Structure 1
C-alpha cells in the first residue's frame, strides 16, 4: 500500500511506525513542513496507560521514550500564599522536540521516507498526492491545511474558540512536581501550569481571562517585556527564575484554545488523525496520548479490513464513540478554568466588596479547598474525597503516597519486561 502522511507530529510518525511494523512492504512517506527539530511548544505529559500501550505496540521506541522522559510525583497548588496544597499522583513528561526526534529516527530505521520542508500548498498539491496514494493521512494539526483544502463539507468541521488567553512558555526553574500557581493581580487572576520536561527546563503554560490579559497590557507588550511582567507576577512560584519564550527559533505567542470537532474523520481516501480530527483542552494533558492512540487504532482497522474504505469507516465510527466522553470532559475542564476567577474570589477570606467590584485585598483563598474544587471539576466531588485530600497534606501521608507510587512503577516496569521478551 502507498501511504502519505501529511504532518510529522506524534500522530503521523507513530502511524507510519505502526504501519511499517505491520507490513514492511508498505510504501510510506511522511511530509513535514518544518525543518528537523523545529516544533512549537516545550514539553508534553503522559501517564502509565500510554506507556503500557507503547510497550505492547513497539517496545523499541517505547524504551527510548521512557529513557528520555522525566517523572514527576505529586501536584502542588499555590493560590498566592506561602503554603501550597498537595495533590497525590505522578506522571511523565518529555520535551516535544525530543519526542519527535526519536519517533522520526525510529520511522526512518523501519524504512519510512521522512521528508522535511514539504508543504501541501494548494488544491493541486493535495489532488496530486491523493491520486497517487492509496491512503492520505492528514496529521497536520488543529489548523490542518489538508482538512481546509478538502473543502468545508468534506469532514463537517466545527471550530469553537475558547475565551481565555494562554501562552506556552518554558522556564529555567526545574520543578520536581506538577505545579499550579495562581496569582492575584489588580485586573484579575493569572495562573500557570508547570512541570519538568528536561534536565534543566520546565514547561510553563500561563493563562488568564481576556479582560485581565488586556488590562495588564499583555496584548500590547513585546515578547521580552511580556515575559518580564509575568516573571514579576510569578516571582514567588518561580523562585526568581526566568521565563523562556523562544523555542527552537520560534517565540511563543498568546492564543485562545481552538476546539476542533469533525462530523467525519474520513473523506474518500483521506483520513484525519490527532488534532486535525479532534482537540482536547490542554488542562487534561491528553492531546499527545490521543494522537498516538488514533495512530494505533487506524493501523489496527487497516489490518482488520481487506479494503481501505471499510477500514476508514470502522475507524471513524469507533473513534468517535471512544473520543466523545473525553471531549466532553475537556469542554467541562476548559469552562471551569474560564470561570476560575470567580472560584478563587468566592473562596477568598477578603471582605466582600460592593456589587460589581473585585476583592483587591485580604488573605489568599484556602489552597486545599481550591485544590479540591480543581481536582473535582468534572463533578465527582464527595465529602470522603475531600477528607482524603485533607489527610494528604500531612507529611507522613505524602511519604506513603510517594512510596506507593514507586511500587506501582516497579510493577508496571516488571510487567512490561515480561510482555516484551
Structure 2
C-alpha cells in the first residue's frame, strides 16, 4: 500500500554510507513522522578509504539542508590551497582551494545525527534482496558501486558496468601534504603516480595509480600488503620524506582495485530507488563521489516532500537526476581515460604536463595556457592565494558559519 497524502512513510535505506545516512537525515528533517531504518552490512567504523574531497558548493548545500551536521563536518575538515604536480624534479602549480574530511569521521558524524533524529541505524546486517522489504513504502538502495541489491535487479534497472584499466590503491601516510599533490615517478617498467591531500590531523590520503602493464611488471600482482607498501615507499621516497605508508584504515588492509563505472537506465523499480554510487559513479580523479551522493539524498528527500504520490516523486528524481549526471559522468570518463593514456603526455616538463592534466576534461582557449604560465610565477601565485583566502572567508560568512569555525588553511 502507498501512503495517503500527508501520511508518514515507512522507509528502509540499504547502506550506511554518505548517501543512505544523509537521505535518512534529510527525510527525517522534512517529516519527523517517517519511520526510517538504515541497514549496513559492515560493523560500525569499517570503511574503505581515508579522506574525501569536496568543495564550497557542497558545503553551501549542507548548511541550507541541515546546519547541525554541516557545522560538525566543517569543523572536522581541513582546507587545502593550491594543487601541485611534481615530476622529474620540476613543479607545476594550479591555484584554488578545497576541503577534505576523513571518511570514517564523516560517517560517524552522519550516524550520530541520524540517531539523534530518531533513525534506526542497524549494523552487521546483510540485505541481499530488497524483496525482503515489500511492505515498506520506499526502499532506498545506497549500498555502493558493487550493490548486490542493484545487481539482483540489473535487468529492471538497466544496469551497465564498465571497468577501468588502471589499478589503484587507496592508502594513507603520516606525511602531511598541505597542497593537493600529484607526484609522478618513472620506473624501468613505466610511470606510476599518486594523488595526495590532507584528510585528518597528521594524516594524508595517498592514492597510488599506474597502468596495468606497469603494475604487473613491478610485481604488484604477486606482492602481499607489506611488500607492496615497502616497494611504494621506495618508489616515492623523495615525496614521502621518510614517512611510512599506511594500508589499514579502521579495517582490513587496502587492496588494489579498478574503478567501476556504473550506469543505470532507470534508478527506480517497484518500491525501490537507487542513490549515490549504486545509481552512478564518477572517477575519483574529479573528486565528486561524496558530493553527488549527498546531493542525491537532499534532492530525493525534497521530491518526497513536494509530491503527494511516491511514484511522482521518484519519477522526477530519476528524470532530473539523469539529466544532471550526463555532463558529470562524461567529464569523469574523459578524466579516467586521460590517466589511462598518460604516456601521451609524459614527455613534457612539469609545467606543461600540469597544464595538460588540468585541461583534460575539455578544450581550452589559447589564452588559458598563457595564464597558466603566469601562475607559475611566485608573486602571481601568492596574489591569487590571497584572493582565494578572501573568497573562502566571504563564502563562509555568507553561509553563516559559526565564529568558532575558522576558515584557516593548511
Q: TM-score, normalised by structure 2?
A: 0.95
- Partner SS, residue 252 of structure 1: coil
Structure 1 partner of 2:163: 161
- Partner SS, residue 147 of structure 1: helix
Structure 1 partner of 2:285: 283
Moved over 3 A (4+): none
Matched, 1:104 2:126: no
* Coordinate RMSD, CA, aligned: 1.3
Structure with bigger RCO (C-alpha 8 Å, 6+ apart) = 2
User: In the TM superposition, what is the alpha-carbon distance from 1:58 to its structure 2 partner?
Assistant: 0.5
CA deviations on 1:26-70 (whole Å, 9 max, x unpaired) are 000000111111100100000000000110111111111000000
CA distance in 1, matches of 2:291, 2:35: 26
1:407 corresponds, among 390, 399, 402, to 390
Matched, 1:140 2:143: yes
1:1-150 alignment, distance < 5 Å: 1-81=9-89, 83-121=90-128, 123=129, 126-129=130-133, 131-149=134-152
Residue pair 1:138, 1:276 contacting (<8 A) in 2 also: yes
CA deviations on 1:178-229 (whole Å, 9 max, x unpaired) are 0000100001000000000011100011000000000000110111101111
The alignment of Structure 1 onto Structure 2 pairs a total of residues equal to: 395
- Partner SS, residue 338 of structure 2: helix
- Partner SS, residue 34 of structure 1: coil
Structure 1 partner of 2:365: 382
CA distance in 1, matches of 2:206, 2:50: 8
CA distance in 2, matches of 1:212, 1:413: 44
CA distance in 2, matches of 1:103, 1:152: 29
1:246-325 alignment, distance < 5 Å: 246-325=248-327
CA distance in 1, matches of 2:401, 2:361: 36
Which sections of structure 2, spanning at least 5 residues, go unmatched?
A: 1-8, 403-410
CA distance in 2, matches of 1:152, 1:191: 35
CA distance in 2, matches of 1:394, 1:418: 33
CA distance in 2, matches of 1:300, 1:111: 19
CA distance in 1, matches of 2:364, 2:401: 38
Deviating more after overlay: 387-396 vs 195-204:
387-396
User: In the TM superposition, what is the alpha-carbon distance from 1:380 to its structure 2 partner?
Assistant: 2.7
Residue pair 2:151, 2:159 contacting (<8 A) in 1 also: no
CA distance in 2, matches of 1:152, 1:268: 13
Structure 1 partner of 2:210: 208
CA distance in 2, matches of 1:418, 1:10: 22
CA distance in 2, matches of 1:382, 1:227: 41
User: In the TM superposition, what is the alpha-carbon distance from 1:418 to its structure 2 partner?
Assistant: 8.5
Residue pair 1:80, 1:181 contacting (<8 A) in 2 also: no
- Partner SS, residue 322 of structure 1: helix
User: In the TM superposition, what is the alpha-carbon distance from 1:239 to its structure 2 partner?
Assistant: 1.2
User: In the TM superposition, what is the alpha-carbon distance from 1:156 to its structure 2 partner?
Assistant: 0.4
CA distance in 1, matches of 2:140, 2:350: 45
Which sections of structure 1, spanning at least 5 residues, go unmatched?
A: 348-365
Q: TM-score, normalised by structure 1?
A: 0.92
Deviating more after overlay: 62-71 vs 373-382:
373-382
User: In the TM superposition, what is the alpha-carbon distance from 1:405 to its structure 2 partner?
Assistant: 1.2
Residue pair 2:197, 2:206 contacting (<8 A) in 1 also: yes
Deviating more after overlay: 401-410 vs 278-287:
401-410
- Partner SS, residue 166 of structure 1: strand
CA deviations on 1:244-263 (whole Å, 9 max, x unpaired) are 11111211000111000000
- Partner SS, residue 281 of structure 2: coil
